[in-house]
């Protein structure tokens, strides 16, 4: 395999690919030899990215199907199968923001974010994983099936004014762990990403910070993040599953998730009144969590 084309002849389905990170992933996967299904609720944006891929010599299908229902997800997969014969990689990237302080959130603010992020991550993964499982059971496994989910620093450590978004992204990190454990028997790997890059979301929230520099390395370029996503979508990543990668610029790390800390064991039931010094000692013995963004 050409090391520069580590996804040669594979088909990747990317949600929210009409701009920002999704567009970068589409271009990077195509450069690595993959066929790309560019899914975005904005069909015109999806078609523009698909046209970029084709202009660079790649193969792409633009799609505006609904990722928040199983019927919509099935229709997206069916279109991909018709165009390319198989889907090998799912990159769940689509997301929205409804940022408000917790006490100002409406029910719709909460539901919309959960629907796009959490349910959107569920539907396509469910449809494709069922297909991959059935193929494996039938003795004709799909080569190196991959799911790449999108969490966030907000989901890993919280973010002021984003309780709905942080809860959804934390849920995606938890979903990734369970998917990885359950789907390993079918050869499916599942990992997630907490990316930092210049997108419509970050440009709206912190335009000066993410502004493209006049010269030198552009650490906020979404293509920087695309490198690890392409690798995770390739056959090279078969030994890595259930991990959450943080990526920005040239920096890459694996998030160190929740672990059971020091334990105090009385050997019997605690009286609530005696717990103050016990809890205080446990906290002293435990590594302090990272600060919530915005504090």
Mean pLDDT estimate for the chain: 95
Catalytic-residue membership of 25: no
In 111-182, the DSSP E strands lie at 146-150
Q: Does a structural domain hold residue 177?
A: yes
Enter the tokens of residue 69: 């229902």
The 10s digit of each residue's pLDDT in 27-49 is: 999 999 999 999 999 999 999 99
- The answer to whether residues 198 and 221 touch, using CB atoms and an 8 Å cutoff, is yes
124's CB contacts (< 8 A; 6+ apart) are: 13, 15, 67, 73, 76, 77, 90, 92
Tell me, yes or no, whether 245 lies in a domain: yes
For residue 279, being part of any structural domain is answered with: no
pLDDT bucket at 246, cuts 50 / 70 / 90: very high
288 in any annotated domain: no
Q: Could you tell me if residue 268 is inside a domain? A: no
**Annotated catalytic residue, options 152, 163, 234, 237:** 152
52 — pLDDT class (breaks 50, 70, 90): very high
103 pLDDT higher than 60: yes
The residues, ordered by sequence, that sit 6+ positions from 117 with a Cβ below 8 Å of its Cβ are 95, 96, 165, 168, 169, 171, 172
Dump pLDDT digits (tens) for 18-29: 999 999 999 999
* Residue 205 clears pLDDT 90, i.e. is over it: no
Cα atoms in the 13 Å half-sphere on the side-chain side of 29: 32
pLDDT in tens, 54-88: 999 999 999 999 999 999 999 999 999 999 999 99
Does 263 reside within a domain?
A: no
Question: Is 152 tagged catalytic?
Answer: yes
Instruction: Catalytic residue, from 151, 159, 163, 165: name it.
Output: 165
User: Residue 284 above 60 pLDDT?
Assistant: yes
Beta carbons within 8 Å of 5's beta carbon, 6+ residues apart: 31, 32, 33
Neighbour count for residue 97 (Cβ, 10 Å)? 19
pLDDT of residue 1: 39
The percentage of residues in the chain with a pLDDT greater than 90, rounded to a whole number, is: 87
Per the model's pLDDT, the better-predicted residue between 198 and 162 turns out to be 162
CA atoms within 13 A on the CB side of 77: 23
Distance (Å, rounded) from C-alpha 100 to C-alpha 158?
A: 14
Q: Has 266 been annotated as catalytic? A: no
| Alpha carbons 52 and 19: distance in angstroms, whole number | 12
Identify the pLDDT of residue 203: 63
Q: What is the pLDDT of residue 212?
A: 85
The CATH number given to whatever domain includes residue 50 is 3.40.50.720
State the residue range of the domain holding 209.
11-254
The residue-averaged pLDDT of 91-112 equals: 97
Q: The tokens 């195509």 sit on which residue?
A: 30
Distance separating alpha carbons of residues 98 and 84, to the nearest angstrom: 36
How many Cβ atoms are within 10 Å of 138's Cβ, its own excluded?
8
186 lies in a domain?
yes
- Total count of domains within the chain: 1
Assigned token pair, 108: 């719709």
**Set 25, 151, 163, 169: catalytic member:** 169
Residue 281 has pLDDT above 80, yes or no: yes
Q: How far apart are CA 256 and CA 278, in angstroms?
A: 26
Q: Is 28 among the domain residues?
A: yes
pLDDT band at 236; cut points 50, 70, 90: very high
251-254 and 244-248: which strand pairing?
antiparallel
């Amino acid at each position: 395999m050409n090391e520069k084309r580590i996804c040669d002849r594979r088909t990747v389905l990317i949600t929210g690919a009409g701009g920002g990170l999704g567009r970068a992933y589409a271009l990077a996967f195509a450069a690595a030899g993959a066929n790309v299904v560019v899914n975005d609720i904005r069909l015109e944006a999806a078609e523009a990215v698909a046209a970029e891929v084709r202009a660079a010599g790649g193969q792409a299908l633009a799609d505006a199907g609904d990722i928040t229902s199983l019927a919509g997800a099935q229709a997206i997969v069916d279109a991909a199968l018709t165009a390319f014969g198989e889907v090998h990689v799912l990159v769940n990237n689509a997301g929205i923001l409804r940022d408000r302080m917790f006490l100002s959130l409406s029910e719709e603010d909460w539901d919309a974010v959960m629907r796009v992020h959490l349910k959107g991550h569920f539907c396509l993964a469910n449809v494709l994983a069922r297909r991959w499982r059935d193929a494996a059971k039938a003795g004709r496994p799909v080569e190196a099936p991959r799911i790449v989910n999108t969490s966030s620093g907000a989901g890993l450590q919280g973010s002021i004014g984003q309780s709905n978004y942080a809860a959804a992204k934390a849920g995606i990190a938890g979903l990734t762990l369970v998917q990885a454990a359950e789907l390993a028997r079918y050869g499916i790997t599942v990992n997630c990403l907490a990316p930092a890059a210049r997108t419509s979301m970050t440009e709206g929230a912190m335009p000066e910070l993410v502004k493209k520099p006049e010269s030198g390395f552009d650490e906020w370029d979404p293509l920087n993040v695309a490198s690890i996503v392409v690798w995770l979508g390739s056959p090279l990543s078969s030994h890595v599953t259930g991990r959450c990668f943080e990526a920005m610029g040239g920096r890459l790390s694996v998030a160190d998730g929740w672990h059971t800390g020091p334990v105090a064991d009385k050997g019997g039931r605690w009286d609530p009144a005696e717990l103050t010094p016990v809890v205080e000692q446990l906290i002293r013995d435990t590594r302090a969590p990272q600060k919530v963004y915005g504090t």
